[in-house]
C-alpha cells in the first residue's frame, strides 16, 4: 500500500468518525429504555430520556430521585473500497466509550420537575502515521534521495455538555405540556501536522512542515417544547427543538508553514496566530412526533423526525493569509446542512411481570451538505470530499425488574455507507487525469449498553422518613 493510499485512508476514517455525532441526529440516544428503542419514544418515553425526547411526558413518569443512564461502549469498524489499485479493502477497528446521562425526577409545589446532565457529543480522535518509504514522485524530483520520512498527525475534539431543568404540567386529564431548558458548554478544536524530511546521498537535508490548529468555544441555551395527548387507546406526543441560542462565542486559528533546504528562492517561513476571532455555532430547528400504542401488555412505538436545513455560514471568521501567492489566500471554515426526515419503530414485548424485551429500528440520515473540519483547513484548493454517512440503527435488549431497581442490557448495530470523490492530488500519478473517480467508505458500529435505574419513589421516601 503506497504512502498516498495510507494518507487517504487516514483522512477519510477521520472525517467519518468526526461527523457521526454532530449531523447524524439519532446516532446517540439517552435514557435506559430509550436507548434500546433507538430514540423512537416521542409519544411513549417513560424514563429519564423524557427531558430530551418529550418534556411534556414528564407528568407520566413516576418520580425517580436519581437514575444512571446505561453505560455504553462501542466497537467501530471503517472499511474503504475502490482506492487501492488491486481492489483490496482497507479496514480499521476501534473500541471506546460513548456519551452518557444522569439525573432524576421529582414533584414540588404540585408540579413535575426533572434535572439532567448529559454529554450530547464527546469526540476525541488522534490519528498518527509515520513512514520511511520514499514515494515515486519524490524519487523523480530528487533522484539522489537517500532517506525520506513522512509524518502525519490529525486530531479533533468535540465536547458538548448539557445541564438541564425540565418542568411539566397537566392542562387537562388528557393533555400535558412541558419545557426543557439546557445550558450547553461546547468546545470544538482540531489540528493537523504534515511533516516531510528528505536527506540526499551528499547529506543535504530538505524539510517541510505545515501545522494548522483551530478552536471554537460556545456557551448557549437549548430549549425543547413537548406535549403529550392521551387518546382512549394510545398516546400521541410532539417535541419541538428550537434553534440554538448562543450567549458567548470565541474562535482561534493558527497557521505555520516552513520549507527549508531546497534553495533560497523557494525556502519560506509563514506563521500566523489569530485569537479572539468571531465565531458562530448553529443548531437546527426540529420537530418530532410519535405514538405509543399498547398491544395487550406490550407496546409499539412509532416515530417521525424532521430537522430543518441551515444555510451556509462561517463557523469561524478567519482573515486571509499571505503564503506567497499573488493575493492573500482566503481561509474558509463553512458549514451547511440540509433538511432531514427520519423514521423509526420499536417495541417492548411483555414476557413476565419482571422481564421485558426490546426491539427497534431507526433511520439516521446525515445532515451535512458541507462541514467545517480540520480537513477543510488542511486542503489545498481540493474539491469537497464529503463522507457524511446515512446510518440505519437496529437495537435489541432486555429489562429485568428487581424490588429495588431495574437492570437493562442490550446491543445496537449501526451501519452506514457512502461514495466519496477520491482526492486526485494524493492518489493520481498522472496529473493530466481530470476524470472524477469514486470510492466507497462503510462504517459499522456495535454498541453495548448496560444500565441501572434506582427508583426512590415519593411514597417510599415518606415511609423511610416515618420509620
What is the Cα 84 distance to its own chain's centre? Answer: 28
Grid coordinates given for 355: 422481564
What whole-number distance in Å separates Cα of residue 11 and Cα of residue 14? 5
**Going by DSSP bridges, is the β-strand pair 101-108/310-314 parallel, antiparallel, or unpaired?**
unpaired
Confidence of residue 10 (pLDDT cuts 50, 70, 90): low
74-78 LR contacts (CB < 8 Å, sep 24+)? 74/98, 74/445, 74/446, 74/447, 74/448, 75/445, 75/446, 75/448, 76/17, 76/443, 76/444, 76/445, 77/443, 77/444, 77/445, 78/12, 78/13, 78/16, 78/17, 78/441, 78/442, 78/443
Grid coordinates given for 398: 432486555
Grid coordinates given for 293: 400504542
| Residue 425: its H or E element | helix 424-427
CATH architecture for the domain at 3-206+213-243+283-466: Beta Barrel (2.40)
H helix runs in 83-180, sequence order: 136-141
Report which of 388, 392, 398 is spatially closest to residue 415, judged by C-alpha positions.
392
Q: What is the pLDDT at residue 1?
A: 47
What whole-number distance in Å separates Cα of residue 43 and Cα of residue 274? 48
Q: What is the pLDDT at residue 461?
A: 45
State mean pLDDT over 375-403.
74
Q: What is the pLDDT at residue 307?
A: 98
Q: Where are the domains of the chain?
A: 3-206+213-243+283-466
Asked if residue 247 has pLDDT above 90, the reply is yes
Sequence length of the chain is: 467
Report which of 9, 32, 113 is spatially closest to residue 65, judged by C-alpha positions.
113
State mean pLDDT over 380-404.
76
Q: What is the pLDDT at residue 467?
A: 44
Asked if residue 83 has pLDDT above 60, the reply is no
Which tens digit of pLDDT belongs to each residue from 316-345?
A: 999 999 998 889 999 999 999 999 999 999
Which tens digit of pLDDT belongs to each residue from 14-71?
A: 555 555 557 899 988 998 899 999 999 999 999 889 999 999 999 998 776 666 666 7
Amino acid at each position: 500500500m503506497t504512502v498516498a493510499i495510507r494518507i487517504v485512508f487516514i483522512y477519510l476514517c477521520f472525517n467519518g468518525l468526526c461527523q457521526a455525532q454532530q449531523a447524524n441526529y439519532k446516532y446517540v440516544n439517552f435514557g435506559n429504555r430509550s436507548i434500546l428503542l433507538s430514540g423512537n419514544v416521542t409519544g411513549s418515553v417513560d424514563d429519564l430520556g423524557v427531558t430530551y425526547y418529550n418534556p411534556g411526558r414528564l407528568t407520566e413518569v413516576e418520580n425517580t430521585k436519581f437514575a444512571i443512564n446505561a453505560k455504553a461502549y462501542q466497537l467501530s469498524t471503517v472499511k474503504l473500497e475502490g482506492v487501492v489499485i488491486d481492489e483490496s479493502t482497507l479496514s480499521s477497528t476501534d473500541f471506546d466509550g460513548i456519551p452518557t446521562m444522569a439525573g432524576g425526577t421529582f414533584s414540588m409545589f404540585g408540579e413535575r420537575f426533572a434535572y439532567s446532565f448529559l454529554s450530547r457529543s464527546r469526540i476525541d480522535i488522534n490519528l498518527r502515521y509515520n513512514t520511511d518509504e520514499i514515494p515515486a514522485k519524490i524519487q523523480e524530483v530528487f533522484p539522489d534521495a537517500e532517506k525520506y520520512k513522512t509524518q502525519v498527525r490529525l486530531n479533533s475534539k468535540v465536547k458538548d455538555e448539557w445541564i438541564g431543568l425540565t418542568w411539566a404540567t397537566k392542562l387537562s386529564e388528557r393533555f400535558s405540556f412541558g419545557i426543557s431548558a439546557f445550558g450547553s458548554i461546547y468546545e470544538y478544536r482540531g489540528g493537523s501536522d504534515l511533516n516531510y524530511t528528505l536527506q540526499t546521498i551528499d547529506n543535504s537535508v530538505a524539510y517541510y512542515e505545515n501545522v494548522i490548529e483551530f478552536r471554537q468555544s460556545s456557551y448557549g441555551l437549548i430549549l425543547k417544547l413537548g406535549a403529550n395527548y392521551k387518546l382512549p387507546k394510545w398516546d400521541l406526543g410532539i417535541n419541538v427543538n428550537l434553534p440554538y441560542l448562543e450567549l458567548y462565542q470565541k474562535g482561534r486559528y493558527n497557521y505555520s508553514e516552513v520549507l527549508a533546504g531546497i534553495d533560497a528562492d523557494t525556502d519560506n517561513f509563514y506563521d500566523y496566530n489569530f485569537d479572539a476571532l468571531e465565531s458562530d455555532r448553529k443548531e437546527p430547528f426540529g420537530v418530532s412526533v410519535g405514538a405509543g400504542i399498547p398491544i395487550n401488555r406490550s407496546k409499539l412505538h412509532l416515530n417521525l423526525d424532521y430537522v430543518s436545513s441551515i444555510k451556509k455560514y462561517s463557523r469561524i471568521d478567519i482573515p486571509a493569509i499571505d503564503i506567497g501567492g499573488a493575493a492573500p489566500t482566503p481561509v474558509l471554515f463553512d458549514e451547511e446542512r440540509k433538511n432531514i426526515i427520519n423514521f423509526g419503530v420499536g417495541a417492548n414485548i411483555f414476557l413476565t411481570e419482571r422481564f421485558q424485551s426490546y426491539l427497534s429500528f431507526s433511520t439516521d440520515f446525515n445532515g451535512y451538505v458541507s462541514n467545517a473540519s480540520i480537513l477543510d483547513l488542511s486542503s489545498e484548493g481540493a474539491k469537497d470530499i464529503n463522507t457524511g454517512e446515512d446510518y440505519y440503527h437496529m437495537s435489541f435488549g432486555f429489562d429485568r425488574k428487581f424490588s429495588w431497581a431495574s437492570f437493562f442490557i442490550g446491543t445496537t448495530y449501526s451501519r452506514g455507507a457512502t461514495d466519496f470523490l477520491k482526492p486526485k492530488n494524493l492518489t493520481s500519478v498522472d496529473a493530466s487525469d481530470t476524470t472524477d473517480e469514486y470510492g466507497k467508505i462503510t462504517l459499522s458500529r456495535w454498541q453495548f449498553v448496560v444500565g441501572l435505574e434506582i427508583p426512590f419513589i415519593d411514597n417510599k421516601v415518606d415511609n423511610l422518613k416515618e420509620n
